[in-house]
């Protein structure tokens, strides 16, 4: 989810796209969690090219990784003609290149498992994210003005989002003097609401960022010098622990839970959320009730699923390559001609649980990559399980929400499978059906993370009943 927080690309209906010459500009921003510097961002604009690098030190379950995102853009005025993106984190090495052709970006993604092609509709007014605030000041901003735009970066596009998903609202809220260690600056205070996050920025009349607050996850960006950035070592921030929600009571081992009722506080809107499915999870007022499915009452079909209602959940998606020969070969070895979907799901889940090492991973999960590395966290387990299960002819969803571990609710990803009825399965924890502490917030993979992001750091859960 971390990569979804990084701002991307801007689209606006009357955005000028040619005849612009940006002066050489450079920005360095330290990234802080509390008083601790955990990363930095560097932007360079020069000769029609924009270079952006973001570096974060992440600690996940005791493992520290340097996460490095680098993007370069070739521009025609404001318009993107080409981009080159890379992401490295531990053993993860992901790259993507895109080129404008016939009103779209033709994108080639390169990862451990090879190359994939993606297409993204590209309006003539697309702007690289580092130029967002420069574009705003070019519009002669005034307090009270607002803009509805679409913001994009490669990390967002590679999750499969559409331009519609990237809509953002930008509001010029006030003129303020901001004091930071480098001095005092006269700024506009600008609020950007984007993909579940609220970004509050203080920018100069030239579009230079002086300070920025991103919630969630609660990072603060502060203008600094290149020398100060280079001289100070980074400290790790544990996003998993930082975003976990403490339980008000101890429930012991959650694996035994067959039902759970929690109240939700801080939920401003249910738009874009999947809090009720009428089967396993029910939502009324501020209460969510989860009931574990009874597999003995399910009437299974004969594999592969031949109905039409859930056919879309068998189809491959970017990074869920259920049609891949490698994925299909593994499934054949796991199932050995098994035709009962309930038994098949149990076998696939057991195989993923036993063969994929539980390793904290900061990446854009890719089923073929996970199949090669046999490593990953809940996202990698859920993506690989989805690819294998769909290849077996079982309609399968990726879902996201929270799960209870050690008396805290952690944000988590798992799956739901249609085996005659929809049933939750967690191959990370080796559970089929998944226990009642799995509280679903959204259905869908990383591209739906924006709907989950608006909850992080804002909601509280209180256990009202459990059995």
Maximum average pLDDT range among 22-36, 106-120, 362-376, 382-396: 382-396
Residue 410 has pLDDT above 70, yes or no: yes
pLDDT of residue 3: 34
Is 205's pLDDT higher than 60? yes
Mean pLDDT along residues 257-285: 94
Give the pLDDT confidence score for residue 17 in this predicted structure: 31
Task: Tell me what percent of the residues of the chain surpass a pLDDT of 70.
Answer: 93
Are 312 and 295 members of one domain?
A: yes
Of 244-248, 265-269, 290-294, 297-301, least confident by mean pLDDT is 265-269
CATH number at residue 275: 3.10.620.30
Tens of pLDDT, residue by residue over 272-319, are 899 999 999 999 999 999 999 999 999 999 999 999 999 999 999 989
DSSP, res 442 = E
Residues 248 and 231 in one domain: no
Q: Are residues 30 and 168 in the same domain?
A: yes
Handedness of CA 241, 243, 249, 250 (dihedral sign): negative
Is 449:1 a contact under the CB 8 Å cutoff? yes
Residue 217 — very low, low, confident or very high, per pLDDT cuts 50/70/90? confident
pLDDT, tens only, 326-359: 999 999 999 999 999 999 999 999 999 999 999 8
Q: What per-residue confidence (pLDDT) applies to 129? A: 81
What pLDDT does 61 receive? 65
Q: What is the 3-state secondary structure (H, E, C) of 236-283?
A: CECHHHHHCEECCCCCCCHHHCCEEEEEEECCCCCCCCCCCCCCCEEE
Residue for token digits 């992001």?
453
Q: Within this chain, do residues 342 and 399 fall inside the same structural domain, yes or no?
A: yes
Region 239-246 average pLDDT? 87
Residues 6+ apart with CB under 8 A from 427: 348, 349, 352, 353, 356, 381, 382, 384, 385, 414, 415
Mean pLDDT computed over every residue of the chain? 88
Pick from 164-168, 208-212, 229-233, 322-326: least confident = 164-168
Q: Within this chain, do residues 188 and 266 fall inside the same structural domain, yes or no?
A: no
**Highest averaged pLDDT of the listed ranges 65-69, 73-77, 209-213, 239-243:** 209-213
pLDDT value at residue 12? 26
Is the Cβ–Cβ distance between 433 and 423 less than 8 Å?
yes
Tokens of 346: 């149990």
Taking the C-alpha atoms of residue 394 and residue 406, their distance in angstroms, rounded to an integer, is 32
Q: Point out the domain boundary residue: 184, 214, 237.
A: 237
At 441 the pLDDT is 97
With contact defined as beta carbons under 8 Å apart, do 234 and 39 qualify?
yes
Residue 391, H or E segment? helix 378-391
Average of per-residue pLDDT across 80-94: 89
Average pLDDT (19-46) is 83
- Work out the end-to-end distance of the chain between its first and last CA atoms, rounded to an integer number of angstroms: 32
CA distance 31 to 36: 8
Structural domain for 324, as ranges: 244-466
Q: Residue 334's pLDDT is what?
A: 98
Query: How many CB atoms neighbour CB 283 within 10 A?
Result: 18
Closest CA to 190 of 206, 174, 204, 213: 174
Residues 107 and 195 in one domain: yes
Confidence of residue 20 (pLDDT cuts 50, 70, 90): very low
Q: How far is CA 413 from CA 53, 221, 369, 416, in A?
A: 28, 29, 18, 10
When pLDDT is cut at 50, 70 and 90, the band that residue 7 belongs to is very low
Are residues 354 and 229 part of one domain? no
| Nearest CA-CA partner of 342 in 377, 378, 376, 389 | 389
Q: What is the pLDDT of residue 124?
A: 59
pLDDT, average across residues 434-463: 89
Distance of alpha carbon 305 from alpha carbon 301, whole angstroms? 7
Read off the pLDDT band of 23 (50, 70, 90).
low
Measure Cα distances from 158 to 78, 367, 429 in Å. Answer: 22, 14, 27
Asked if residue 158 and residue 67 are part of one domain, the reply reads: yes
Residue 425 has pLDDT above 50, yes or no: yes
For CA atoms 248, 380, 428, 258, the dihedral sign is positive
Look at residues 214, 237, 260 and tell me which one is the last residue of a structural domain: 237
User: pLDDT tens digits for 139-163?
Assistant: 889 999 998 877 767 788 888 777 7
Of all residues in the chain, what percent carry a pLDDT higher than 90?
Answer: 64
Query: Domain end: 213, 237, 261, which one?
Result: 237
- Give me the mean pLDDT over the 85-114 stretch: 91
**What angle, rounded to 10 degrees, do the helices at 378-391 and 341-355 form?**
140
- Whether pLDDT at 13 is above 80: no
Q: With beta carbons less than 8 A apart as the criterion, state whether 166 and 158 touch.
A: no
- Residues contacting 296, CB < 8 A, separation 6+: none
- How does residue 220 score in pLDDT terms, banded at 50, 70 and 90? very high
CA distance 394 to 55: 40
Per-residue pLDDT at 239: 81
| Each residue's pLDDT tens digit, 123-137 | 755 677 888 888 888
- Number of domains, the chain: 2
From 54, 49, 2, 65, select the one nearest 28 (Cα to Cα): 54
167 and 311 share one domain: no
**Both structure tokens of 189:** 């205070």
Q: Are residues 200 and 294 in the same domain?
A: no
pLDDT of residue 37: 94
Instruction: Say yes or no: 366 and 450 in one domain.
Output: yes
Report the pLDDT value the prediction gives residue 1, as an integer from 0 to 100: 29
Same domain, 222 and 75: yes
């Amino acid at each position: 989810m971390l990569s979804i927080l990084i701002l991307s690309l801007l689209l606006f209906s009357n955005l000028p796209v040619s005849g612009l010459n940006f002066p050489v500009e450079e920005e360095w921003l330290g990234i802080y969690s509390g008083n601790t510097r955990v990363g930095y961002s560097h932007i360079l604009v020069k000769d029609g090219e924009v270079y952006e690098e973001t570096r974060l030190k992440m600690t996940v379950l005791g493992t520290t990784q340097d996460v490095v995102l680098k993007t370069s853009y070739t521009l025609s005025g404001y318009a993107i003609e080409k981009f080159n993106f890379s992401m490295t984190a531990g053993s993860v090495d992901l790259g993507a290149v895109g080129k404008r052709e016939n009103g779209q970006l033709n994108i080639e993604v390169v990862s451990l498992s090879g190359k994939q092609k993606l297409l993204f509709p590209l309006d003539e007014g697309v702007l690289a994210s580092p130029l967002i605030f420069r574009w705003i000041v070019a519009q002669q901003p005034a307090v009270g003005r607002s803009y509805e735009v679409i913001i994009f970066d490669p990390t967002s596009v590679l999750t499969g989002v559409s331009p519609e998903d990237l809509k953002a609202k930008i509001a010029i809220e006030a003129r303020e003097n901001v004091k930071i260690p480098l001095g005092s600056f006269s700024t506009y205070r600008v609020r950007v609401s984007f993909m579940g996050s609220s970004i509050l920025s203080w920018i100069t009349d030239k579009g230079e960022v002086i300070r920025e607050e991103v919630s969630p996850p609660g990072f603060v960006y502060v203008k600094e010098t290149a020398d100060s950035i280079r001289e100070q070592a980074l400290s790790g921030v544990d996003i998993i622990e930082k975003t976990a929600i403490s339980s008000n009571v101890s429930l012991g081992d959650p694996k035994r839970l067959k039902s759970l009722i929690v109240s939700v506080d801080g939920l401003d809107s249910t738009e874009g959320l999947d809090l009720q499915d009428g089967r396993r999870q029910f939502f009324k007022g501020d209460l969510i009730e989860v009931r574990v499915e009874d597999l003995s009452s399910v009437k299974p079909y004969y594999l592969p699923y031949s109905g039409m209602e859930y056919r879309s959940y068998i189809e491959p998606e970017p990074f869920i390559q259920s049609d891949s020969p490698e994925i299909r070969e593994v499934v054949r070895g796991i199932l050995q001609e098994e035709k009962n979907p309930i038994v098949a799901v149990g076998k696939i889940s057991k195989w993923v649980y036993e063969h994929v090492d539980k390793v904290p991973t900061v990446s854009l999960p890719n089923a073929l990559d996970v199949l090669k590395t046999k490593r990953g966290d809940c996202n990698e387990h859920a993506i690989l399980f989805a690819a294998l299960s769909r290849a077996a002819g079982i309609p399968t969803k990726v879902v996201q929400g929270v799960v209870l571990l050690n008396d805290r609710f952690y944000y988590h990803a798992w799956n739901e499978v249609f085996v005659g009825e929809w049933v939750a399965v967690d191959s990370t924890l080796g559970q089929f059906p998944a226990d009642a502490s799995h509280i679903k917030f959204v259905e869908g993979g990383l591209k739906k993370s924006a709907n989950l992001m608006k909850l992080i750091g804002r909601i509280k859960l209180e256990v009202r009943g459990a059995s």
